[in-house]
Structure 1
Amino acid sequence: MNSFGNASVDIDMLEREMAAEQTANLSGNIAGMSAPKSSSNRRGPMQEVDLDAEFDTLEEPVWDTVKRDVMTVGAKFSHVILPHGDKQQLLRDWDLWGPLFICVGLALLLQHNGGTESAPQFTQVFTITFFGSVIVTANIKLLGGNISFFQSLCVIGYCLLPPFAAAVLCSLFLHGIAFPLRLLITSIGFVWSTYAAMGFLAGCQPDKKRLLVIYPVFLFYFIVSWMIISHS
């Protein structure tokens, strides 16, 4: 009987020890629930959203916005003038402001230089330059070019800068001077634009179809250059 009595005492002691351990675990868990207070304190600053941060441009002055956009367009023109620069920026941050300015400027310039009924009208020049770029871009996409439609249109439009510069020189400074000099300047603009465009588009085309892409681009810039030399 003494052995049974000792066993009952041992069982009671074991039960008390288990109850004490469970109480300690529960108190530990309850105490652990206070930990999120410190984590919430750490997360507090992250939850506060500053509406006046730099990305908020709703209250930005109009002049700052225009200046930033003009600097961006100028940087892309510099990539066309120096084709060995960062070729990915023109494809990554595409826009159509530069091509629009060139198309409108070239159309106004050639219409002003004509002075006769045979001179090209604004709509004719704008249609040839703008929709010509669209057709060349569609050809690139149909041939499996790894480039979006607007990226290609942006590159082809920006690369019209050398022919446009040649048109300005021939119209404003070389008007009435010998034809061979104007032909030379226009030819340089044509070669420069073709070289710059292929520098941007070469890495986006399959090697076996590269010549099929080059020919429409070459033909497009040739037609624009011929319009410039004919009406300047």
Structure 2
Amino acid sequence: MDPFASASVDIDMLEREMSAGQQGSRETQPGDLSGNIAGMNSARQQRRGPMQEVDLDADFDTLDEPVWDTVKRDLLTVGLKFGHVVLPHGDKQQLLRDWDLWGPLFICVGLSLLLQHNGGTESAPQFTQVFIITFFGSVVVTANIKLLGGTISFFQSLCVIGYCLLPPFAAAALCTLFLHGIAFPLRLLISAVGFVWSTYAAMGFLAGSQPEKKRILVIYPVFLFYFVVSWMIISHS
């Protein structure tokens, strides 16, 4: 008997067994892989679920947006925040959540220009004085709020303090543009209403974020800041 013939038969049998095993693994492998991939995709889709709700192209990519559309959207946002100050019983969290400093900047500049209108030859120093008192005064009050343990951020507090200058600004506009030269008691009454309104609105936004035992220490600097601004309005109008 030829030994090479038996060896060739063994090799043929081994090759058939290997080919049969490979075919079996190929028949089972696609099903296993498809199941694993589907599971991975579903898991990824579940993890991506919250992220898919945010449309980056629609919400944040404004490079191709016309400038006027951006300006209108920002002005609308500022106007809505002024509305929260005028009606303090609305959604108080929106002003804190979507904070900005555009409104406070407009008020500081506008108030300085209104009081400069009656400044005569000392208009430039008066503009600087009013702007420094309103801007840096709000910064000092905000720093005091944070040092006393306020839970909202520095810029959120600064945003609230600045936006709540709207009632004194409205009082300054009335006293300077419409009631200039009229009896002092009427201007005093209008400025007092603006002062009380601004203090009440600011504490409505800030009261919930302050430690209960230190609220008086927070209220007093806010009260003093709006009082100084209101007194400037009465004095220069």
- The CA deviation string for residues 101-146 of structure 1, in whole angstroms up to 9 with x for no partner, is 0000101110111225499611110000000000000000000000
Indicate which of 107, 125, 134 corresponds to 1:102. Answer: 107
Give the TM-score of the pair, scaled to structure 1: 0.81
Indicate which of 59, 65, 74 corresponds to 1:60. Answer: 65
Which residue in 2 is equivalent to 1:169? 174
Which residue in 2 is equivalent to 1:31? 30
- Answering whether residue 182 of structure 2 is matched by residue 182 of structure 1, we say no
Indicate which of 200, 216, 219 corresponds to 1:211. Answer: 216
- Answering whether residue 84 of structure 2 is matched by residue 85 of structure 1, we say no
Which residue in 2 is equivalent to 1:192? 197
Post-superposition offset of 1:54: 1.3
Give the TM-score of the pair, scaled to structure 2: 0.79
Q: 1:134/1:36 Cα in 2 relative to 1: closer, same or farther (>3 Å)?
A: same
For the residue of structure 1 that corresponds to 2:58, the secondary structure is coil
Post-superposition offset of 1:35: 2.0
State the one-letter code of the partner of 1:168: A
- The CA deviation string for residues 173-201 of structure 1, in whole angstroms up to 9 with x for no partner, is 11111110000000000000000000000
Which residue in 2 is equivalent to 1:14? none
CA contact (8 A) 1:145 1:205 kept: yes
Post-superposition offset of 1:25: 6.4
Return 5+ residue gaps in structure 2 as ranges.
Answer: 1-17, 46-51
State the one-letter code of the partner of 2:58: E
Post-superposition offset of 1:26: 2.7
Which residue in 2 is equivalent to 1:159? 164
- Structure that is richer in helix per residue: 2
Q: 1:189/1:59 Cα in 2 relative to 1: closer, same or farther (>3 Å)?
A: same
Q: 1:37/1:213 Cα in 2 relative to 1: closer, same or farther (>3 Å)?
A: closer
- The CA deviation string for residues 58-105 of structure 1, in whole angstroms up to 9 with x for no partner, is 100000000000000000000000000000001000000000000001
Return 5+ residue gaps in structure 1 as ranges.
Answer: 1-18
CA contact (8 A) 1:102 1:161 kept: yes
Indicate which of 77, 81, 106 corresponds to 1:76. Answer: 81
Which residue in 1 is equivalent to 2:49? none
CA contact (8 A) 1:114 1:120 kept: no
Which residue in 2 is equivalent to 1:3? none
For the residue of structure 1 that corresponds to 2:57, the secondary structure is coil
State the one-letter code of the partner of 1:200: F
Alignment of 1:77-156 (within 5 A): 77-117=82-122, 121-156=126-161
Alignment length (residue pairs): 206
Paired-residue identity, %: 77
CA contact (8 A) 1:110 1:231 kept: yes
Post-superposition offset of 1:53: 3.4
CA contact (8 A) 2:117 2:123 kept: no
Which residue in 2 is equivalent to 1:226? 231
State the one-letter code of the partner of 1:26: S
